[in-house]
């Protein structure tokens, strides 16, 4: 469930990410009321099985049942924010990919990992990795280990600048970029992208949002909003 909003008095409009990678808009008649036909009130923090009928006005959602739920996602604001932000990221930043289930699978994996995190302090790192993998899959992986323009390597200990328009680090010879990223922050980001959530540092999600704002302005906004929630923990 990527998104849902009230429509008319009792209905809902919803946007679904299907297991074949396609995104579809559906109308759920009485969706605001019928908890029986639409299990869990169509919560976004669950995997559903949907029954839909094509009509002249588009797809009608007849029934939804929860196939898999992750109750731990409701346990605290960090987990919930990571899962919802990843869902919004999938909606805004990747779009439909019919016939390609990658983003659907990445999102499911994220839900499971976040729910299983024993201690959610480092959980925002999973959001960074999810965003990276979704962008990478679309051919827009941000570049953090070398200059995105000339390919000159960026040594691990170096303070670098990032140009969102170039999609990553830009060296001085290529005129640099508007954002500075400290060596420790870049090392932490790279570790998170490798799947090491313990590398999480405060502010990392915002730094990553800046790096990707050129290739995915909407995705960057989603990440920045999520990081504002993490910062208040």
The site for Zn ion (CB under 5 A) is made up of 147, 149-150, 152, 171, 174
| Integer Cα distance of 3 and 15 in angstroms | 5
Q: How far is the CB of 170 from Zn ion (least distance, A)?
A: 6
Find out whether 95 and 23 touch, Cβ atoms under 8 Å. Answer: yes
Q: Report the nearest approach of Zn ion to the CB of residue 162 (Å).
A: 12
When the beta carbons of 120 and 142 are compared against Zn ion, the nearer one is 142
CA of 146: how far to CAs of 62, 116, 166, 215, in Å?
A: 51, 34, 12, 17
CB 168 within 8 A of CB 179: no
Cβ atoms of 1 and 48 closer than 8 Å: yes
Q: Which helix (H) or strand (E) holds 53?
A: strand 46-55
Smallest separation (angstroms) from Zn ion to the CB of 176: 9
C-beta closer to Zn ion: residue 163 or 213: 163
Nearer to Zn ion (CB atom), residue 146 or residue 190: 146
> What is the rounded distance in angstroms from the CA atom of residue 33 to the CA atom of residue 114?
30
Nearest to 132 by CA among 152, 160, 103, 158: 103
Nearer Cβ to Zn ion, position 95 or 175?
175
Distance CA 203, CA 181 (A): 11
> Among residues 115 and 171, whose Cβ is nearest to Zn ion?
171
The Cα 160–Cα 156 span in angstroms is 10
């Amino acid at each position: 469930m990527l998104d849902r909003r009230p429509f008319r008095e009792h209905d809902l409009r919803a946007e679904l990410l299907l297991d074949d990678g396609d995104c579809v808009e559906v109308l759920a008649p009485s969706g605001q009321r019928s908890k029986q036909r639409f299990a869990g009130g169509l919560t976004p923090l669950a995997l559903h099985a949907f029954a839909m009928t094509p009509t002249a006005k588009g797809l009608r959602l007849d029934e939804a049942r929860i196939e898999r739920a992750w109750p731990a996602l409701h346990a605290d604001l960090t987990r919930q924010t990571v899962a919802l932000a990843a869902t919004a990221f999938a909606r805004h930043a990747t779009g439909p990919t019919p016939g390609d289930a990658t983003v659907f699978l990445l999102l499911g994996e994220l839900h499971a990992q976040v729910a299983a995190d024993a201690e959610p302090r480092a959980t925002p790192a999973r959001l960074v990795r999810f965003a990276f993998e979704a962008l990478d899959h679309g051919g827009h992986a941000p570049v953090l280990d070398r200059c995105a323009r000339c390919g000159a390597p960026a040594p691990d200990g170096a303070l670098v600048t990032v140009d969102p328009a170039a999609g990553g680090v830009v060296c001085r010879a290529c005129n640099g970029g508007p954002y500075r990223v400290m060596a420790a922050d870049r090392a932490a980001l790279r570790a998170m992208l490798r799947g090491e959530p313990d590398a999480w540092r405060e502010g990392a999600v915002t730094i990553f949002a800046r790096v990707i704002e050129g290739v995915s302005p909407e995705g960057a906004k989603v990440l920045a909003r999520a990081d504002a929630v993490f910062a208040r923990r």
